[in-house]
Structure 1
Amino acid sequence: MDYDVLILGGGPAGYYCALECAKGGLKTALVEKQELGGTGLRWGCLPVKRMLDALRERQKAEKILFSRSSADVQEIYKGFLEEMQGIEIQLAERLSARGVEIFFGEGSFLTPHTYLVGERCIEAAHIVIATGTSPKGFQQVEEDGEYVITHKDAVSLEQLPKTMTIIGANVEGCEFAALFAALGVDVFLLEKENQILKGMDRDLVQPLLDQFEMQGVKIKVDTAVEAVDKTGSRPIVLLSDGSMIEAEKVLVTMGRKPNFPLGLDQAGVFHESQRIPVDSCCRTSNSHIYAVGDINGIGGMAHMAIQQGILAADNILGKRRELSSGIAVPSAIFTIPEIAGLGCQEQELLASRQRYKVGKYPFSHTWRGFTKGIQSGFVKVLFDQKNKLLGLWMAGDDVSEYIGLLHSVFRKGISLKDLEDSLAIHPSLLEAVWEAARNLEEREGVQDETTSYIML
């Protein structure tokens, strides 16, 4: 065998898997058909969050919202693009420092142990598929990279548009709406459901809606896209209610499709239309071939992909590990303000008609919030009738930073007394969690107007 491990895909799952395998002493190779970093590190979540962080700090310093008349807004955007191009260099250097050999190009399985890249035939004892997903759009809208674009195009525009229509008010759509609105682009956000960020409690979404309103973001829900007319100088989105929206760019954020490597049948790997099924150790139907990250359809979040990549590496190294249950997976939406949390949403509890307790506390009421001049954001905690924590959610600046480490605590079945007895540093913003737990109110398990909303 040429290598102990061959990893297909240089996104977060493949990158961390390669590092862990090499760290364990395995001779490791990685194949990437485009750029290292994938959607997570190069073309999706990281660049959007990096730019939003920079814009937020600039706005705080200048106490203004950007507009297209800002003299240096275009230079800020170009500087961000140049900075993000350095990601691939950093990834390559870190992999090479660990002894990972990198191959670039389109490849295909020849046998269960061999993979052809260009003219190089690579043989490996173990193979890890980490090829991820790509935007799939939908039948009525065909992406062309010029007028109708995807997230990859959106973070590499040579010139900022004056107007943009975003199809899909999901997490990706809202994050890009926040980014381009902050850059002074006139944004129109479309959603076929009756609310943006469907599945998220109204009170958590409301601060984002307030920000969008202040920035002039136009939102239309409960309306489907029928087609995009590209016959004129600008694309026109045709809607199900008969209205039309014209903009310089149309960004589509409607779902993703799996990037199946070529030759899966030759590899003896069973796959379904949208994923490669795996067992609890991330093994495919062929026991020496693993599938990690978005390609296996579990989770669809970068932090889960990273953990799966490390888990696969550990199993290859003989340290048997299994996927943990999907309970209380932490999530975050990197808008301005951010939304983050884990566990149940209040609307789920209302819909299931169970009794529960809810406590909320604003960051502005904490003493640290007072010293920092924070005026918005809050914590919400949800407990069952036996005082077991069911959900913990936050809205506000940088709340994504607090959620990750709370995951392990949550999984241990933390109780109300545990939370009340915890010692949050004083003064700190995390005291809001403690305060929220001290301000619980009983709620009947009957669905009411807080569970859903329609924005007209």
Structure 2
Amino acid sequence: MSDTFDLIVVGGGPGGYVAALRASQLGMNVALVESTHMGGVCLNWGCIPTKALLRSSEIHHMLHELGNFGFSAENVGFDLSKIVGRSRSIARRMGGGIAHLLKKAKVTTFDGRAKLAGRAGEAHKVSISKDGAEIATILAPHVILATGARGRQLPGLETDGKLIWGAREAMTPTELPKRLLVIGSGAIGIEFASFYRNMGSEVTIAEVADRILIAEDPEISAMARKSFEKQGMKIITGAKVGPLNKSENEVSTTIESAAGSIELTVDRVICAVGIVGNVEDLGLENTSVKVDRTHIVVDGFCRTAEPGLYAIGDVAGAPWLAHKASHEAVICVEKIAGRSPHQLHPLNIPGCTYSRPQIASVGMSEEKALAAGHKIKVGRFPFIANGKAVAMGETDGMVKTVFDASTGELLGAHMIGAEVTEMIQGYVIARTSELTEAELIETVFPHPTISETMHESTLAAFDGALHI
């Protein structure tokens, strides 16, 4: 086996394996080093298995709504072990698919931990170890770091794998907690809260900010809160969670907020309070790489301050999204190959939360558009005025669009409701293609579909909505 490559990729997640595949397509001899599992956290312990769990919880919810559709059923129950088992089997299947793609692309893979070990002329040396012993040293003029990130641990709120869960424990419960506290209301926290509430747990969400889903437009955030509370969740914002006091099989704590202080006892706690980049033990101390708050600093083409060294995905900073990592992978590799890719525009990266109801957005919120100095036109269209949504029994939702009043540029789109994580791509294409309200208004949307709400929201921004 050769020890010299054109490119070495460190990490096999949605950034790393895509970088390896694209580099192979462009004729490079590629090595990929992965220490744990192909597909990374996203495929094995994040994006994919959580969606399998959420699908099960949606079915559980629908089974209790059968009367609305003319059906009845008795003794509805579930087998939690089978629900978790299905999620894990899907993750394994997808991981096997990634391994197959890499083999088909003739990417050389190494099972171990990679560490930068200096240079040999123009090439970077990468040492690979397994179980503490070095198993190989490989060289390449270009190295992409795609090592991802992990959950942040806060003093007094540390996960222990039993009573205080991180994402992995929350994905593999052996029994359903009757009472659950979720600390943090970003996409991860909200998705777990949605899963467990749909399965029957009593859920409390504690968020330090003044509203949940802080990355979303405030109007959408408020609608989400109203919907979650209607489902029975208790939501505390501006919350300061005291130390978690553990007994044999439950956790008690004090939560302070503007509304006062409450004492809470739950069976389990999920901590979803952000992430930190995996930058340790990579050999960065011997390079010119800059690290800012656990994330590697890169330019628009994912280049670090060290020639020939790149970083993509979660380790390179926000937004911490799999599709951002994959797109950065392609940009980075194509730049290495001498092509002319476009830099990734942060405001063209969609964000999705797969709760019930779903939430999706791209671009600027109304608040941020005004702060940036834009004169704006805003359109809104509720799902309750859409025939397909009514027929599906999914009337809880809205599409909101924000346009520049003078140019017609779509500044942002914000959606809440059924299947909006599928629909948001229409607005992403519009922003990437620099379409204005004129093209969106002239676009024919199929009827009956929920996507018609996207058209109506655009019409509404320019005083032309037809169905409200």
Structure 1 length-normalised TM: 0.88
8 A Cα contact 1:116 1:122, kept in partner? yes
1:320 aligns with 2:320: no
- The whole-number CA distance in structure 2 between the counterparts of 1:291 and 1:354 is 33
Q: Which moved more, 1:380-389 or 1:390-399?
A: 380-389
* Distance in 2 between residues matched to 1:388 and 1:228, nearest whole Å: 48
* Shift in CA distance, 312/441, structure 1 to aligned 2, threshold 3 Å: closer
Does 1:347 pair with 2:364? no
Change in 2 beyond 3 A, CA 1:417/1:441? closer
Find the aligned partners of 1:423 and 1:316 in 2 and give their Cα distance. Answer: 40
Quickly say closer, same or farther: Cα 1:123–1:158, change in 2 above 3 A.
Answer: farther
State which of 265, 268, 273 in structure 2 corresponds to 1:246: 265
Q: Which runs of 5+ in 2 are unaligned?
A: 68-72, 130-134, 464-468
How far did residue 367 of structure 1 move?
4.0
How far did residue 199 of structure 1 move? 4.6
2:126 to 103, 112, 115: 115
**Contact 2:125 / 2:138 at 8 angstroms: preserved in 1?**
yes
Unpaired runs of at least 5, structure 1: 443-456
Partners of 1:102 and 1:183 in 2: how far apart? 40
Q: Distance in 1 between matches of 2:64 and 2:267?
A: 29
Cross-structure match for 2:349: 329
| Alignment partner, residue 419 of structure 2 | 398
- Indicate the SS of the match to 1:193: coil
Structure 2: how far apart are the matches of 1:246 and 1:62? 28
Aligned to 2:299: 279
Alignment of 1:433 with 2:454, yes or no, is: yes
Q: Distance in 2 between matches of 1:16 and 1:326?
A: 19
Provide closer, same or farther for how the CA distance between residues 3 and 354 of structure 1 changes in structure 2, counting only shifts above 3 A: closer
Q: Which amino acid in structure 1 is aligned with residue 278 of structure 2?
A: N
Q: What code does the residue aligned with 1:269 have?
A: V
Q: SS in structure 2 opposite 1:51?
A: helix
- Give the match for residue 294 of structure 1: 314
Matches within 5 A, 1:134-173: 134-173=150-189
Higher mean alpha-carbon deviation, 51-60 vs 253-262, is at 51-60
Letter paired with 2:445: A
| TM-superposed deviation, 1:235 | 2.1
Which of 70-79 and 349-358 deviates more? 349-358
Letter in 2 for 1:36: M
Identify the residue that residue 428 of structure 2 maps to in structure 1.
407
Task: State the Cα distance separating 1:416 from its structure 2 match.
Answer: 2.5
Distance change (3 Å), C-alpha of 1:184 and 1:345: same
Q: Is the 8 A contact 1:208 1:335 kept in 2?
A: no
**Percent sequence identity over matched residues?**
27
> Deviation string for 1:399-454 (max 9, x for gaps)?
11121243232244433322222222233322222222222379xxxxxxxxxxxx
- Checking the alignment, whether the CA contact within 8 Å between 2:80 and 2:175 is kept in structure 1 is no
The aligned counterpart of 2:70 is none
Tell me, yes or no, if the aligned pair for 2:81 and 2:174 is still in contact at 8 Å: no
| SS of alignment partner, residue 138 of structure 1 | coil
Corresponding letter in the other structure for 1:257: V
Greater shift, 240-249 or 399-408, is seen at: 240-249
Matched ranges for 1:206-221 at <5 A: 206-221=222-237
The offset of 1:338, in angstroms, is 0.7
2:12 aligned partner: 10
Q: Secondary structure at the match of 1:26?
A: coil
- Quick check: 1:7–1:128 contact (8 Å CA) kept in 2? yes
Write the deviation string for residues 330-360 of structure 1: whole angstroms up to 9, x where unpaired.
2111111111121222233566786532222
Does the CA contact (< 8 Å) of 2:15 and 2:312 recur in 1? yes
1:70 aligns with 2:77: yes
Among 106, 130, 140, the alignment partner of 1:124 is 140
Please state if 1:22 is matched with 2:24.
Answer: yes
Q: Offset of 1:309 from its aligned partner?
A: 0.8
Greater shift in the superposed pair: 247-256 or 418-427: 418-427
Instruction: Write the letter of the residue equivalent to 2:83.
Output: I
For residue 257 of structure 1, the aligned residue among 266, 276, 283 is: 276
Structure 2: distance between partners of 1:104 and 1:441? 56
CA distance in 1, matches of 2:346, 2:214: 20
Taking structure 1 as reference, are residues 186 and 368 closer, same or farther at Cα in structure 2, changes over 3 Å only?
Answer: closer
Contact 2:369 2:411 in 1 (8 A): no
State the distance in 1 between where 2:266 and 2:460 align: 47
2:305 counterpart SS class: coil
Paired residue for 1:269, among 269, 289, 294? Answer: 289
- After TM superposition, give the deviation of residue 316 of structure 1 in Å: 2.3
Aligned partners of 2:251, 2:288: CA distance in 1, in Å? 44
Distance (whole Å) between structure 2 residues aligned to residue 53 and residue 207 of structure 1: 22
Q: Is the 8 A contact 1:328 1:344 kept in 2?
A: no
* CA apart distance, 1:137: 2.2
Q: Secondary structure at the match of 1:227?
A: coil
Alpha-carbon RMSD:
2.7
Once structures 1 and 2 are overlaid, which stretch shifts more, 179-188 or 53-62? 53-62
Q: Which residue of 2 aligns with 1:94?
A: 101
Deviation (angstroms), 1:110: 1.2
1:99 to 1:234, Cα distance in 2 relative to 1, 3 A: same
One-letter amino acid matched to 1:397: A
Deviation of 1:12 after TM superposition, in Å, equals: 0.6
Aligned to 2:466: none
The equivalent of 1:36 in structure 2 is: 38
Moved more, 205-214 or 281-290: 205-214
Residue of structure 2 in register with 1:51 after alignment: 53
Q: Which residue of 1 aligns with 2:86?
A: 79
Contact 1:73 1:183 in 2 (8 A): no
Q: Could you tell me how far 1:370 is from its partner in structure 2?
A: 4.9
How many equivalent pairs are there?
441
Q: Secondary structure at the match of 1:380?
A: strand
The whole-number CA distance in structure 2 between the counterparts of 1:312 and 1:200 is 28
2:296 is paired with a residue whose SS is coil
**1:365–1:242 distance in 2 versus 1, CA, 3 Å:** closer
Answer whether contact 2:304 2:310 (CA < 8 A) is retained.
yes
Shift, 1:128, TM fit: 0.6
Q: CA deviation at 1:373?
A: 4.7
Write the distance in 2 (CA, Å) between the matches of 1:99 and 1:40: 23
